[in-house]
Structure 1
Amino acid sequence: MNNQTWLITGVSSGFGLELTKQLLEKGHTVIGTVRNDDTVQTLIKQYPKTFDREFLDVTDTEAIQLLINKIYQKHKIIDVLVNNAGYGLFGAAEELTDQEIDKIVATNLTGSIQMIRAVIPFMRMQQAGRIIQISSYGGQVAFAGNSMYHATKWGIEGFCESVTQELAPFNIGVTIVEPGGARTEFRYGSAHVAELMPEYDNNPAHAFLTMLDPTNGLAAGDPVKMATRMIESATVEPAPLRIILGSQALDSTIQTLEKRVEDFKKQTRLAASTDF
C-alpha cells in the first residue's frame, strides 16, 4: 500500500507499539498516543519526520476532540485509526470497586467510542478511511472473573457493527480485531486485578490467576505476527467486519457461537408464542 497516515492509541506497549514499529519501518506516518513516552523515545529519535508522539488520556473526551482537530491541521488526513488503548480487569463482579468499573468503561468502551466519533466527520469529508477497533475474542466468548472486561468488549463490538453500516456509504470501513491470548504486557504486566475475596477461592472467578502466571506457560499468540495481520487487513476490500487472531481463539469462538445458535433454535415455539 502507498504511504499512509495512521493514528494509533496506546503505543507505549503491546500491539500499539508493535504496529507502530512495523508501520514506521514500511515508511508510513504514525501518530501515536501515549500517557508516558519513556518507551517510545527510541522511535522519536529514529523517525523524527514520520513518528508524531501525542499525549492523550482516552477517558478525556474534550482532549480527544482537541487532538483530532490538531492532527488534521498538521497532517491533513488520517487514513487509518487504530483504537488500541485499553486494559484487562480481573476479578469476580462482587470484588470490583465502583471506581474500577467506571475506569475500565471510560477507557475501553467510552474512549473508543469517542475516538471513532471524533474522526468520522473528517473521514466522511475525505470519502475514505479505515477504522480498526482492537477488541478480543472476549467480545464473543465470556469467562468468569472477566465480567467488566467482557462488558466493554461486547459493548464496543455492538457499537462498531452498527457504525460500520452508517459509514459504508462514505467509503469508510470498520474492522473489529479479536485477538486471542498473546505474549504482551496486557496479560503479563498491565492487567488490573481486583482485591480478591477468600469467598471466591476455588471458584471459577479466580481461574484467571493461572493464566496471568507465566510459569504456567506463555500465551500462544505472537504479537509481531498479529500486528502484521492487522496492518494487512487495512488493504482488504471491502473491510472485513471481524478478524480473529489465534487458533485457540477461533476454535473457542466457533464453539460458543454454535452452542448459542443451537440454544436459539430450541426456542422456535417459545418465540412464536408471543406473536399476535
Structure 2
Amino acid sequence: VKNIVDKTIEAFGGVRILVACAGLNLTYGPFEYLSLERVNQDANKVIGANLIGTINSISAVIPQMKKQGYGRIISLGGGGTDRPLKHMTIYSASKGGVIAFSKCLAEEFKQNPYDVKINIFMPGMIYTNLMRNSQVIKEWKDEDEFQKELDLIMKHVATDIEESCSNVIPFVLPSCKSNGKVFKGFSIIKLIKGFRKVAKVRKKMEKSQ
C-alpha cells in the first residue's frame, strides 16, 4: 500500500482524496453451518481485506495529508452495520469495524489543525463481484436456487451504481465540513418498496409451483 501511495505522490505531487473501498465476502449462508476451520479461514481473509485493508490504506495516506494540511477520506461501510443482515455475518462484522475505526479517527482529527475529513459511505445493494463470487453453503441451500433468489432481489432492490456514487462528490470537495458522518447512496423508501415487490413475486412463484 505504501508503495502505491509513494508512486501517487511522485506522479501527482500529493494525495488529496482517498476512497477506501475494500470489499470481500467468501461465504453466503447461516453462520451455524460453518466449521470452526472455515470460520477462521473466512474471518482472516474477509476481515483482513475489508477492515485491515482499510486501516492500512488510510494509515498510508495520513502522513502526506498532514504534510499538505488537507485531505478527504471516504471509507466504505456495508450491509449489516445499520441493521441486522442474515447470512453475511463475518462480512458484516468487518464492515462494522470499518465504521467504528473511521468514526474514532474522525473524532481524533476534529482536535487537529489539519483540514482532513473522514466520512463513511453506505453504497447500498449493488450487484458486483462481491456477491457473484460469494459461495453458497451447500449444506444449507442449492446454488441454483440461491442464484434465482439473488437475481430476483437484484432486479427489484439493487441500487444504480452511478446514482449511488454521485452521492460521494460533496464529501470529497474542499467545501466539505462533515467529519465522521455516515451517508447513504440509496433511498430507504425505494429499498423498502423493492423488498415488498420481492415478497409479492415470491408468493406468486410459490403458488405456481
Same fold, TM-score > 0.5, yes or no:
yes
**Unmatched runs of 5 consecutive residues or more in structure 2:** 193-209
Q: CA deviation at 1:173?
A: 0.4
Cα contact 1:180–1:249 (8 A) shared by 2: no
Match of 1:121 in 2: 63
Mapped to 2, the partners of 1:250 and 1:152 lie a distance apart of 26
Alignment correspondent of 2:4: 67
Q: Does 1:225 align with 2:163?
A: yes
Q: Which residue of 1 aligns with 2:177?
A: 238
Contact 1:82 1:131 in 2 (8 A): yes
Q: Which letter does structure 1 place at the counterpart of 2:168?
A: M
Q: Does residue 182 of the first structure (1) align with residue 122 of the second (2)?
A: no
Q: Deviations over 1:62-121 (max 9, x none)?
A: xx1222222222322111000112123422224441222211011111000110011111
Secondary structure of 1:177's aligned partner: strand
Q: Considering only aligned residues, what root-mean-square deviation do their CA atoms show, in Å?
A: 2.7
Give the corresponding residue for 1:10.
none
1:137–1:179 CA contact under 8 A, matched in 2? no
Q: Which amino acid aligns with 1:180?
A: G
Count of residue correspondences: 180
Q: Deviations over 1:180-230 (max 9, x none)?
A: 21244433x23x1253324xx6xxxx9x94786214552331101111111
Aligned to 2:115: 171
Q: Which moved more, 1:107-116 or 1:136-145?
A: 136-145
Q: Runs ≥4 in structure 1, deviation > 4 angstroms?
A: 249-252
**Letter paired with 1:113:** I
Partner Cα distance (1:105, 1:132) in 2: 18
1:149 counterpart = 2:91 = yes
Identical positions, percent: 23
TM-score by length of structure 1 reads 0.58
1:91 and 2:29 correspond: yes
Contact 1:177–1:243 at 8 Å: present in 2 too?
A: yes
Aligned partners of 2:189, 2:148: CA distance in 1, in Å?
A: 15
What TM-score does the superposition give when structure 2 sets the normalisation length?
0.75
